[in-house]
Amino acid sequence: MKNGKRTVKVWDPLVRIGHWTLVIAFFTAYLTEDDFLAQHVWAGYIVSAYVLVRLVWGVIGSRYARFRSFLYSPAKVFGYLKNLLAGKPQHYIGHNPAGGTMVAALLICLAGTAVTGMKLYAVEENAGPFAVAAQLMPTHSFSLVENANAEDDDENKVHKDLNFGHKVDKQAEEFWEEWHETFANLTLALVFLHILGVIVSSVIDKEKLVKAMLSGKKEIDDTYR
């Protein structure tokens, strides 16, 4: 039936649950920062895990979760925005061109935030996936040659004299901290732009995007592509 309304399943559980989990995890990480390091780190790990899963799901996932279903050329994106602002929105069952571009931008920035955060964590705490044992440097030097003959007798003394501690590379710390903050703030800006886009699209396009991300279903007609 022409222009007949019907309800279709669009977003699978992984996309929907992951979306809201990502929202909670990102804001938890952003608001805790150094004051609650453990919470900040674990929230960051959740963000990292979902980004990895979403990248894989974008290739092998359900129809509308795949990147090829919502990544469009710049011309398509600008054309969509032009029509939207002119009050002539184009309807898409999955992500529209602007929304698809936002998904890609957010994944890139979230990945950048996660990687730089883990690098910073390794530099400051020698912990996390990028931590290396070589960063544990002894505060006292001792010659293996001088002690070779007395190795067995002085083993306990050697262990006591070696005071292992983590030596922070201040230059590396500053570098990764700056990039981590840059990616985090850029992600936050994109989040607010995304919210604005959802509001504008909901008003002009008359789509219930938030409801669709909760239920996974959209009400469409023959104008949708």
Q: Which of 33, 43, 199, 55 is nearest to 124 (CA)?
A: 33
How many angstroms separate the CA atoms of 218 and 38, rounded?
Answer: 39
Q: What is the pLDDT of residue 3?
A: 58
Q: What is the pLDDT of residue 149?
A: 45
Q: What is the pLDDT of residue 72?
A: 94
> What are the pLDDT digits (tens) for 105-161?
999 999 999 999 999 999 988 888 888 743 444 444 334 334 444 444 544 443 344
**Helix H or strand E segment including 7:** strand 6-9
What's the total number of domains in the chain? 1
Residue 114 within a domain:
yes
Q: What are the beta bridge partners of residue 138?
A: 164
Q: What are the beta bridge partners of residue 164?
A: 138
Residue 134 within a domain:
yes
Tokens representing residue 152 in the block: 């067995």
Residue 225 within a domain:
no
Q: What is the pLDDT of residue 206?
A: 77
Provide the pLDDT confidence category of residue 6 given band limits of 50, 70 and 90: confident
Most confident range (mean pLDDT) of 42-51, 91-100, 168-177 is: 42-51
Tokens representing residue 166 in the block: 């983590």
**pLDDT above 60 (res 33):** yes
Nearest-10 Cα torsion for 149, 155, 157, 162:
100
**Least confident segment among 21-30, 84-93, 180-189:** 84-93
**Least confident segment among 4-13, 50-59, 104-113, 138-147:** 138-147
Residue 1 within a domain:
no
**pLDDT above 90 (res 45):** yes
How many angstroms separate the CA atoms of 198 and 23, rounded?
Answer: 15
Residue 170 within a domain:
yes
Residue 44 within a domain:
yes
> What are the pLDDT digits (tens) for 77-97?
999 999 888 878 788 999 999
CA-based end-to-end distance of the chain: 16
**pLDDT above 90 (res 54):** yes
Half-sphere exposure of 43 (CA within 13 A, CB side): 19
- 180 Cβ contact partners less than 8 Å away, ≥ 6 residues apart: 113, 116, 117, 119, 120
**CATH code where residue 149 lies:** 1.20.950.20
User: Which structural domain range is residue 94 located in?
Assistant: 6-220
Q: What is the pLDDT of residue 5?
A: 81
Q: What is the pLDDT of residue 166?
A: 58
Residue 168 within a domain:
yes
Q: What is the pLDDT of residue 140?
A: 41
Dihedral (CA of 143, 146, 152, 156) sign: negative
Averaged pLDDT of the chain: 84
Q: Which of 68, 38, 49 is nearest to 110 (CA)?
A: 49
